[in-house]
Amino acid sequence: MTRPAEAIAGLKPRIDDFAAALASPGQDERLRFARGVVERRGIDPAASAGRLRRYLEERTTSVGGSIEYARLLNPSAALADKLTVFRDRGLSTDTAIFVNFGIDRALQAMKQAGAASTMQRIAIVGPGLDFADKLEGHDFYPVQTIQPFALIDSLLRLELADERVLHVTAFDVSPRVLAHLDAARTRAAAGTPYSLVLPRNTDRPWTPGLVEYWRQAGARVGPAVNAPAPPAAAGSVDVRAIAVRPSIVSAIVPIDLDIVAGRLDLAPGELFDLVVVTNLFLYYDVFEQSLAAANIARMLRPGGMLLTNNRIFEVPSVPLTGAGYTDVVYMALPGVGDTGDRVIWYERR
């Protein structure tokens, strides 16, 4: 395995390019955001190139060599360590198409098992923002959120929701995620669709099920449109783009809420039929996860479902009971093995 210090040597040209780009970010949304981050640390990218490089190298080492991966990959690690693997890491908003395939398959299985019928009030906790694709590094398309559109797409295709009466609440703590959704709603109110871009690296051994999911993802929320062309350096990439209908965007209401610390007090008729929470619990310790689960349970109607790819700690005071699960495989990664998710359905007692 490459050690962090060796990796830094290989990454040096990229770090240099990045440092130079931060010094003159132009109108690029991502670079302006990154520049703001380093400026908040007192580094002026234009004036202190050496300090900026040292900071970037230190962050690369720290993230690449972080203890959390050792915890995750250690087969004999305690379950509580595995389920709280990112508890010491800052919150990340990264998101990708993969887990939405898992949610799609879980909804399908729930429907077949009679555990899901028509849903009207849905919540997503932590929809995330695709700032730069975590696996491939793509950033040739605008910053985007994926999960709200993928989830609505699945619900419509599986005939589990009616677009005309669907309400999706997107809870998040990140001001960037909330501002992104607010801006999309403002544009939708003026009739502008939302651009959703779904790249696929054709060199990756995606499972046939995932490829099939990717091919039709988004078809229920808007027409396919011309996709932005990836740069040559992006490798073998197929890209689909969807112009999400403004009416779909308007159905998604962002709300600033820390699910560990709070909840909405909902009247019985306002309780959610479904709450989706993926890649969020891992950032919290056992106690915080239990608080989050309790808050979610209080916002679900009896019989409503929580869908998550992180097993939660079932405690008697939280009325959520494991009702089933769906395993999905995304691809086989060399040296890592099959990557996938277990999407678990918890029913509100």
Smaller CB distance to ligand SAM: residue 18 or 171?
Answer: 171
- Taking the complex as a whole, how short is the minimal distance between the CB of residue 286 and ligand SAM, in angstroms? 15
**Of 210 and 280, which CB lies nearer to ligand SAM in the complex structure?**
280
Closest approach, Cβ 58 to ligand SAM, in A, equals 22
Distances (CA, A) of 17 to 13, 22, 34, 49, 58: 6, 9, 13, 11, 16
Binding site for ligand SAM (CB under 6 A): 91-96, 99, 125-128, 147, 171-174, 177, 257-260, 278-280, 283
Task: Give DSSP secondary structure letters for 56-69.
Answer: HHHHHHHHHT-HHH
Residues in the chain: 349
Cα–Cα distance between 7 and 9 in angstroms, integer? 5
Choose between 92 and 201: whose C-beta lies nearer to ligand SAM: 92
Closer by beta carbon to ligand SAM, 34 or else 52: 34
CB-based closest residue to ligand SAM: 126
Find the shortest distance in angstroms from Cβ 146 to ligand SAM: 7
Nearest alpha-carbon partner for 320 in 343, 340, 342, 304: 304
Q: Which residue's CB is nearer to ligand SAM, number 149 or number 283?
A: 283
User: What CA–CA distance (Å, rounded) separates 320 from 36?
Assistant: 41
Q: Where are the alpha helices (DSSP H) in 204-271?
A: 208-216, 246-250
Distance CA 145, CA 182 (A): 12
Q: Which is nearer to ligand SAM, 70 or 91 (CB)?
A: 91
| Pairwise CA distance, residues 348 & 140, whole Å | 41
Under 8 Å between Cβ of 308 and 277:
yes
Which of 103, 130, 252 minimizes the C-alpha distance to 199? Answer: 130
Give the nearer residue to ligand SAM in terms of CB position, either 61 or 92: 92
Closest contact distance (angstroms) between CB of 67 and ligand SAM is 18
- The pair of three-digit structure tokens given for residue 343, joined into one six-digit string: 């999407």
**Phi, then psi, of 340 in degrees rounded to 5:** -175, -165
| Nearest-approach distance from CB 90 to ligand SAM, in angstroms | 10
70, 133, 158 from 73: Cα distances, Å:
5, 22, 35
Least gap, CB of 345 to ligand SAM (angstroms) = 16
Q: How far is the CB of 293 from ligand SAM (least distance, A)?
A: 12
